[in-house]
Amino acid sequence: MSRLLALPVALLLFSALLLPFSSLATTPMQQAGPTAPLTTPYPILFVTQPPVRADFTTIGSTFGNHGAGMDDVARGGALWIRYPDGALKNLTAAAGYGSTAADGFQDEHAIAVRDPAVHWDGQKALFSMVIGAPAEQYDYSGVYYWQIYEISGLGPGDTPVIAKVPNQPPDYNNVSPIYGTDDQIIFTSDRPRNGQRHLYPQLDEYETAATVTGLWRLNPVSGDLTLLNHAPSGDFAPLIDSYGRIVFTQWDHLQRDQQADADAEALLAGEDEPYGTFDYASESADAAILVTRTEVFPEPRASRTDLLTGTNLVGHNFNHFFPWTIFEDGTESEVLNHLGRHELHGYIPASIDDDANVFDYYGQVARFNPNPILNMFQIAEDPNRPGVYYGIDAPEFGTHAAGQVISMTAPPQLDADHIRVNYVTHRATASTEDVPANSGHYRDPLVLSDGALVAAHTDDRGEEAGTGGPLNSTYAFRLTTLALTGNGFYAADAPLTPGITATIRYWSPDVLVEFTGPLWELNPVEVRARLRPAPAVRPLAPQELAAFQQAGVDPADLRAYLIANDLALAVVRDATTRDDFDQQQPFNLRVAGGGHQTVGAAGAVYEIAALQIFQGDQVRGWRGGGSEVRPGRRVLARTLHDAAALTANPNASGPPGSVAVAADGSVAAFVPAGRALTWQLTDAQGVGVVRERYWLTFQPGEMRVCGSCHGLSELDQAGQGAPQNTPSALVTLLEQWAAENQTPARSLYLPAVVK
């Protein structure tokens, strides 16, 4: 727990903390040198952070950056505000938070700060803060968590007041908080999906590193807590855009466990397992540890030639960080405007090797977007141009999530086929090439109200190369404006501060870490009032309403049943249709038995008979090369076994956990809510034909409709638009549900457009 400074000390600190831009000259915070201040339209909140050299699951990393331990994030940073005239104030210090030792020692009152987000009225802000550090050498007693705080009193003459947000998960890391349109708080957390502590921490799908479990929503008054999106490898940095959508970065890594593969390959070679991976029999706390390692979805990785030999499968590797959207109630989860690899990546491998219609994409087919990116981190919307989003395309390691500034225009009504990525800084800044065009690395882009572009910038062009102590980084992030240069791209221009330096000392707890130098300046956000958008909604379309009408079911009755049973409804209108640009999986599809088909080219036509559903279970454990089982579990795809869903779905002759594809190509199924799900289309023998590449989460009561599989950006493989059929599979499912739940048939009011 933090304690406020005694009143006389607080008043003395306050008088020293509100200083002109050219007057910072006190220890531990000092001015780098007098500089004429830039004028900004509004104040800017930002944080300082002692530089951390390590770039794997530390405060600046692309993933696993939520840890609060001393090796994860150094203490000694603060929440700052820069006023329009350049004056700076250390808000956390003025509110009585942080260590105050003259020699910079970080004691039990030490803090680190991250992720400020301003309220709609511009009068207060949320941020995350961790409090405490070892009081002495070898002190391992501290257990530290990021928690959410709210600050008010942001004006130049105000004494800021900080209060911990009530009713948040107390023993978990809660980061990246933002205000919802209803003032509930949306954030990411490493709280287990179902709150069961034995599943902590959730381990990511890459290095089995601890990760956040997804997006959460908290009502701080009532304590109501809802998981909006379950992400097996993590969600990052949400915002609410002008259209009421939550926009965030999701790590998509739906592939088989590479560490389990390494263990299996070691055993085949007669060697010891390097990771000691294993399966639990279930998610329960007392689940048995199994002798076998089992993976059922997706197909094996390319390195597992022992599993791929004799098949037409190339092998599946998947790894990127893309922009996603979700509504505030957790429904309608999808990649921003249905963007995907086919619109953003420069290379996409084929999934099979024996069909001329299925090929590797490397740019040989023209598309609207000429500028590929790998990832999109730290997304921010332009306040003057709704639907224009800035972000960072950064390497996964080595640059502290810093790279190239990019932008794209993607309002909800614009299809993915007509969205273009713009390179704001030179493409070389996405790399670690030491070339003249590389103006350094950037992160945390911010467009100000006057149109000026700001970012955290470092001159370092290469990978982090610091040696020695944990704070000896070669990166030096400073907040700067960006200006257009002679090569047609933007580059760092003028700094927003004179540089903020500090002397930091703390126990690691084994070693005394000492640092004196400039602090990183990160996470800028403008302090101003903003228009509160209306929450995004998407009502049932006429085609699905017609299905309810034919079955004699009131959507409200079904929704009540779904909520009571923690279920959602998933519908595909025509699973034979696929986006015309996606020729990396089977292209021509037909319902088995001579049903409806969609053919886009001469050649093989693949029959589909069932949609097989997989749920994400935390059942993969590991020993890390030792003998002791390590805490936490990784998510694996397991055949749908949720009892409520299996009971509600019709019996199918297809593979386990599946529902049939109807003659018109439609599919309808009840699926579990609040848990990551994925699926595949199979043939009549249960062999996968087209595989989903993402995890998606449904909410209790959600009725989610996809037109196609994979969904269309604009046209399907036959050059047609989105399917407009009333899905017969939905009619059949609703009729069965009505019969089993004794719901009386009724005549429903439908919009006049439904005939």
What mean pLDDT do residues 65-76 have? 97
Where in the sequence is the domain holding 117, given as residue range(s)? 7-257+317-351+377-526
Q: Tell me whether residue 755 is in a domain.
A: no
Res 743 pLDDT > 80 = no
Lookup: tokens for 531: 């228009």
List Cβ neighbours of 220 (8 Å cut-off, separation of 6 or more): 165, 166, 167, 168, 184, 185
177-191 pLDDT tens trace: 999 999 999 999 999
104-120 pLDDT tens trace: 999 999 999 999 999 99
Q: Tell me whether residue 483 is in a domain.
A: yes
Residues 15 and 113 both lie in one domain: yes
Residues 333 and 460 both lie in one domain: yes
Q: Tell me whether residue 445 is in a domain.
A: yes
d(C-alpha 501, C-alpha 328), whole Å: 40
- Per-residue pLDDT, 555: 97
> Exposed, middle or buried by CB within 10 Å (0-12, 13-18, 19+), for 520?
buried
What mean pLDDT do residues 429-457 have? 98
Rg (CA), the chain: 27
- Per-residue pLDDT, 1: 31
d(C-alpha 735, C-alpha 392), whole Å: 49
Mean per-residue pLDDT over the chain, rounded: 93
What mean pLDDT do residues 468-483 have? 96
Last residue of a domain, one of 469, 495, 526: 526
Residues of the chain above pLDDT 90, percent: 91
Cis upstream peptide for 238 (omega within 30°): no
Res 17 pLDDT > 90 = no
Count the neighbouring beta carbons within 10 Å of the beta carbon of residue 630.
16
Res 20 pLDDT > 60 = no
What mean pLDDT do residues 522-546 have? 97
Nearest of 452, 416, 431, 471 to residue 581 by alpha carbon? 416
Give me the phi and psi of 198, to 5 degrees please.
-65, -15
Q: Tell me whether residue 363 is in a domain.
A: no
Residues 20 and 92 both lie in one domain: yes
Dihedral, 225, 229, 230, 235 alpha carbons, nearest 10: -110
Residues 483 and 577 both lie in one domain: no
Res 31 pLDDT > 50 = no
With bands split at pLDDT 50, 70 and 90, how would you rate the model's confidence at 33? very low
Res 62 pLDDT > 60 = yes
- Per-residue pLDDT, 18: 41
Q: Tell me whether residue 617 is in a domain.
A: yes
What mean pLDDT do residues 277-286 have? 98
With bands split at pLDDT 50, 70 and 90, how would you rate the model's confidence at 653? confident
Residues 521 and 558 both lie in one domain: no
- Per-residue pLDDT, 750: 39
**CATH code: domain of residue 499:** 2.120.10.30
Lookup: tokens for 367: 């598309």
What mean pLDDT do residues 683-708 have? 97
Q: Of 9-18, 70-79, 615-624, 684-693, where does mean pLDDT reach its minimum?
A: 9-18
Residues 457 and 571 both lie in one domain: no
Distance of CA 730 to the CA centre of its chain: 31
118-175 pLDDT tens trace: 999 999 999 999 999 999 999 999 999 999 999 999 999 999 999 999 999 999 999 9
Give me the phi and psi of 429, to 5 degrees please.
-75, -10
Residues 326 and 217 both lie in one domain: yes
Q: Tell me whether residue 278 is in a domain.
A: no
189-241 pLDDT tens trace: 999 999 999 999 999 999 999 999 999 999 999 999 999 999 999 999 999 99
Total domains in the fold of the chain: 2
585-622 pLDDT tens trace: 999 999 999 889 999 999 999 999 999 999 999 999 99
Residues 423 and 565 both lie in one domain: no
Residues 448 and 557 both lie in one domain: no
Q: Tell me whether residue 417 is in a domain.
A: yes
Residues 547 and 424 both lie in one domain: no
Residues 501 and 576 both lie in one domain: no
With bands split at pLDDT 50, 70 and 90, how would you rate the model's confidence at 711? confident
Last residue of a domain, one of 486, 501, 526: 526
Res 25 pLDDT > 70 = no
Res 300 pLDDT > 90 = yes
Helix, strand, coil shares, percent, the chain, to 5: 10, 30, 55
Res 268 pLDDT > 80 = yes
What mean pLDDT do residues 459-483 have? 96
Residues of the chain above pLDDT 70, percent: 93
d(C-alpha 184, C-alpha 12), whole Å: 36
What mean pLDDT do residues 451-475 have? 96
Q: How many separate helices (H) and strands (E) can be counted in the chain?
A: 9, 40
- Per-residue pLDDT, 595: 87
Q: Tell me whether residue 357 is in a domain.
A: no
- Per-residue pLDDT, 16: 35
More confident residue, 307 or 746: 307
Res 23 pLDDT > 80 = no
Last residue of a domain, one of 526, 550, 569: 526
d(C-alpha 19, C-alpha 390), whole Å: 32
Single pTM value for the model: 0.93
Res 34 pLDDT > 80 = no
Residues 558 and 413 both lie in one domain: no
314-324 pLDDT tens trace: 999 999 999 99
- Per-residue pLDDT, 37: 73
- Per-residue pLDDT, 306: 95
Give me the phi and psi of 556, to 5 degrees please.
-65, -35
Res 710 pLDDT > 90 = no
What mean pLDDT do residues 501-517 have? 95
337-395 pLDDT tens trace: 999 999 999 999 999 999 999 999 999 999 999 999 999 999 999 999 999 999 999 99
Res 508 pLDDT > 90 = yes
